[in-house]
């Protein structure tokens, strides 16, 4: 599962000082240039000036997650959710990094909270279903999948999730067809890392 756009760095709110806005603009330019470490340093300067701005901590968490440093990302998403517990995207991100750290219980709780806050957060349903599959709760996973399908029937993550469910149920032939659809949709979107992941899964299934 890829890290969704919702978790990306947010600009400060309108009440932020000019200095903080300037730092966040600089940070965003560094992110676009791929210089994540310098961007993190700039965002941390902004956080010192506005220690109660949850979006800054979320932005730092996002950059650490992009680099695969999920334990550090978790710390920053905890700060963001502590400051703004009613933000569905922050809760989603908390679930995402927790799941990548193997903390399925925390991930499930965060994904459920994200859904409670925003019933249209398709990524949260996909994330929740993924965690529930890990936990062997197939009935609840099916519910989360069904909700995701209602919201985004052509989302490649939804197809990938369905393929994973079929694979776990031993329905290899059906899984292959679904995984191929997911691969094609990822390819259309230019998400080649996801294409490679699906192709590796297809090879496991003997394709």
CA–CA dist 58, 72 (Å, integer): 12
Q: Is residue 149 part of a domain?
A: no
pLDDT 10s digits, 182-206: 999 999 999 999 999 999 999 999 8
In the structure encoding, which two tokens stand for residue 124, read together? Answer: 């949260």
3-state secondary structure 45-108: HHHHHCCCCHHHHHHHHHHHHHCCCHHHHHHHHHHHHHHCCCCHHHHHHHHHHHHHCCCHHHHH
Please indicate, yes or no, whether residues 177 and 126 belong to a single structural domain of this protein.
no
Predicted confidence (pLDDT) at residue 60 exceeds the cutoff of 90 = yes
Out of 89, 106, 140, pick the residue that ends a domain.
140
**pLDDT tier at 8, thresholds 50, 70, 90:** very low
pLDDT 10s digits, 79-123: 999 999 999 999 999 999 999 999 999 999 999 999 999 999 999
Q: Is residue 29 part of a domain?
A: no
Q: How many structural domains compose the chain? A: 2
Range of the domain at 185: 154-206
To the question of pTM greater than 0.75 for the whole model, the response is yes
Please indicate, yes or no, whether residues 130 and 79 belong to a single structural domain of this protein.
yes
Please indicate, yes or no, whether residues 161 and 134 belong to a single structural domain of this protein.
no
Please indicate, yes or no, whether residues 128 and 175 belong to a single structural domain of this protein.
no
In the structure encoding, which two tokens stand for residue 179, read together? Answer: 């995984």
Please indicate, yes or no, whether residues 105 and 187 belong to a single structural domain of this protein.
no
Q: What is the pLDDT of residue 15?
A: 56
Out of 83, 109, 140, pick the residue that ends a domain.
140
């Amino acid at each position: 599962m890829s890290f969704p756009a919702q978790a990306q760095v947010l600009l400060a709110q309108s009440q932020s000082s000019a200095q903080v806005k300037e730092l966040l603009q600089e940070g965003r330019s560094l992110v676009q240039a791929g210089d994540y470490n310098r961007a993190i340093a700039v965002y941390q300067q902004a956080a010192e000036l506005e220690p109660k701005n949850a979006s800054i901590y979320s932005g730092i968490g996002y950059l650490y997650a992009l680099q695969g440093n999920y334990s550090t990302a978790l710390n920053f998403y905890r700060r963001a959710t502590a400051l703004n517990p009613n933000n569905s995207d922050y809760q989603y991100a908390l679930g995402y990094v927790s799941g990548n750290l193997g903390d399925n219980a925390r991930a499930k709780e965060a994904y459920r909270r994200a859904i409670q806050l925003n019933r249209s957060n398709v990524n949260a349903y996909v994330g929740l279903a993924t965690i529930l599959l890990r936990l062997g709760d197939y009935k609840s996973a099916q519910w989360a999948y069904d909700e995701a399908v209602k919201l985004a029937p052509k989302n490649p993550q939804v197809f990938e999730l369905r393929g994973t469910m079929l694979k776990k149920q031993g329905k290899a032939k059906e899984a292959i067809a679904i995984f191929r659809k997911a691969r094609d949709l990822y390819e259309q979107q230019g998400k080649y890392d996801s294409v490679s992941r699906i192709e590796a899964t297809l090879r496991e299934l003997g394709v």
